[in-house]
């Protein structure tokens, strides 16, 4: 029997889910992918390992992968060539913004197909990416990595927290409760930057301070301000995505009043990822988004990127997302 192995690959960790007839059989956690290195061998190794961990008798396996760092320049055929498993017959590959979207705003329909709502999904964990999907167009916003983008991500918040601590240490900024939490790991703040720069796992290490910042937001003005800024920044990415795919428009008003942004139809918006576990981030995001575009519908309790990976195989060719999905055969299906 043909089964589906869905894999969500992130910068802090990866998850695999074996599915049969649309139902979850098992789930397993694996290590992260490193987007600063070539992804193809990393994904092939993870696919082979995850397939090898499955029960005896598993064969004709379709593997659907959503990965951070996947790009249009990536080589799906290279992933297929490097996969070392006689259990895998096909690999389906997409950027994790696509699987986040399908998990949040896609749903399983009859015949294994996936129905997809129009709107935008922002996924903010260690990194962040926003995907807008219109009737005929797709727009990816940010996801440019920790050096040049990922605004509002866990890394972005963690970096802002450490920056605030160092500013307070220098006398350039206000005192903050974040200092005590940071100095518990880095007693000598003058050497913090050297230790972090030399750490191969610096991205996830810095991103861990996002949770601490969220915890302190109720009592510390600096932490609260960082969380609010993250919420506003993430909402701005969603607004950009909706505008690019034609789901918002500027309505003319009488001078001198400014133009008003209004929704085209009722676009759906979902916010996913650990960063939105912060009530302050969530509230700032919702307020900024709905104040700017009153017609949007915020989807509560959306599915995950792993759910979305499980829906890749059923994505209809008519979807604007379809060209963003790559397929590669490993060996002919037998039996």
pLDDT at 141 over 80: yes
Euclidean distance between CA atoms 95 and 324, whole angstroms: 8
CA distances from 258 to 242, 250, 253, 286 (A): 19, 10, 7, 22
pLDDT digits (tens, 9 = 90+) for 5-52: 999 998 889 999 998 887 888 999 999 888 888 889 999 999 999 999
DSSP secondary structure code for residue 259 in this structure:
P
The pLDDT value given to residue 111: 44
| Global pTM exceeds 0.85 | no
Residue length of the chain:
335
Distance CA 51, CA 86 (A): 9
What is the C-alpha separation between 223 and 289, in angstroms, rounded? 21
Q: Report the chain's mean pLDDT, rounded to a whole number.
A: 89
pLDDT score at 302: 87
Q: What is the pLDDT of residues 283-308, one digit of tens each?
A: 999 999 999 999 899 998 888 999 99
The pair of three-digit structure tokens given for residue 136, joined into one six-digit string: 């005929």
Percent of the chain topping pLDDT 70: 93
Give CA–CA dist 300/31, Å, rounded: 29
* Residue reference for tokens 């219109």: 134
Query: How many angstroms separate the CA atoms of 190 and 168, rounded?
Result: 12
Looking at residue 228, its pLDDT comes to 98
What's the rounded mean pLDDT across residues 130-159? 94
Q: Give DSSP secondary structure letters for 149-213.
A: --TTSHHHHHHHHHHHHHHHHHTSS---THHHHHHTT-S-GGGHHHHHHT-TTHHHHHHTHHHHH
Q: Average pLDDT in the 211-222 region?
A: 98
Q: What mean pLDDT comes out for the span 86-115?
A: 80
- The Cα–Cα gap between 10 and 78 comes to 20
CB 26, CB 51: distance < 8 Å: no
Cα torsion 157, 164, 149, 37: sign: negative
* Average pLDDT of the segment spanning 318-331: 87
Take residue 93 and report the two structure tokens written for it.
């590959």
Q: Using one digit for the tens of pLDDT, what is the confidence trace for 217-269?
A: 999 999 999 999 999 999 999 999 999 999 998 754 444 545 557 778 889 99
Is the predicted pLDDT of residue 211 greater than 90, yes or no?
yes
Per the CB < 8 A criterion, the answer to whether 106 and 114 are in contact is yes
- In this prediction, residue 259 carries a pLDDT of 55
Domains along the chain with CATH numbers: 4-116+303-329 (3.30.420.40)
pLDDT band, very low/low/confident/very high, at 110 (cuts 50, 70, 90):
very low
Segment 120-149 shows an average pLDDT of 93
**Tokens coding 328:** 């590669």
* pLDDT reported for residue 59: 83
pLDDT given at position 331 = 61
Name the least confident of 49-63, 75-89, 254-268.
254-268
Residue 335 confidence (pLDDT) above 50:
no
């Amino acid at each position: 029997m043909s089964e589906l192995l869905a894999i969500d690959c992130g910068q802090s960790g990866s998850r695999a889910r074996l599915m049969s007839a649309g139902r979850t059989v098992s789930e397993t956690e694996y290590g992260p992918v490193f987007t600063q290195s070539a992804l193809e061998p990393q994904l092939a190794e993870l696919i082979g390992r995850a397939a090898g961990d499955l029960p005896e008798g598993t064969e004709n396996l379709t593997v659907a992968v959503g990965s951070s760092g996947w790009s249009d320049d990536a080589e799906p055929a290279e992933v297929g060539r490097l996969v070392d498993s006689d259990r895998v017959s096909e690999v389906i590959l997409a950027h994790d913004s696509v699987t986040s979207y399908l998990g949040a705003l896609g749903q399983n329909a009859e015949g294994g197909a996936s129905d997809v709502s129009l709107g935008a999904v922002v996924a903010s964990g260690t990194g962040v990416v926003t995907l807008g999907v219109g009737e005929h167009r797709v727009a990816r916003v940010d996801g440019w990595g920790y050096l040049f983008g990922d605004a509002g991500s866990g890394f972005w918040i963690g970096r802002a927290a450490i920056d605030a601590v160092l500013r307070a240490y220098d006398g350039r900024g206000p005192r903050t409760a974040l200092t005590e939490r940071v100095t518990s790991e880095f007693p000598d703040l003058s050497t913090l930057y050297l230790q972090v720069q030399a750490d191969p796992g610096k991205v996830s290490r810095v991103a861990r301070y996002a949770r601490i910042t969220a915890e302190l937001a109720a009592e510390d003005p600096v932490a609260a301000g960082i969380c609010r800024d993250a919420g506003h920044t993430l909402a701005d990415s969603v607004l950009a995505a909706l505008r690019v795919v034609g789901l918002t428009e500027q309505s003319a008003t009488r001078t001198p009043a400014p133009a008003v942004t209004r929704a085209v139809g009722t676009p759906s918006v979902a916010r996913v990822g650990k960063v939105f576990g912060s009530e302050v981030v969530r509230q700032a995001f919702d307020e900024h988004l709905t104040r700017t575009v009153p017609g949007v519908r915020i989807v509560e309790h959306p599915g995950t990127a792993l759910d979305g990976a499980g829906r890749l195989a059923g994505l209809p060719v008519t979807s604007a997302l379809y060209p963003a999905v790559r397929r590669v055969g490993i060996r002919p299906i037998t039996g």
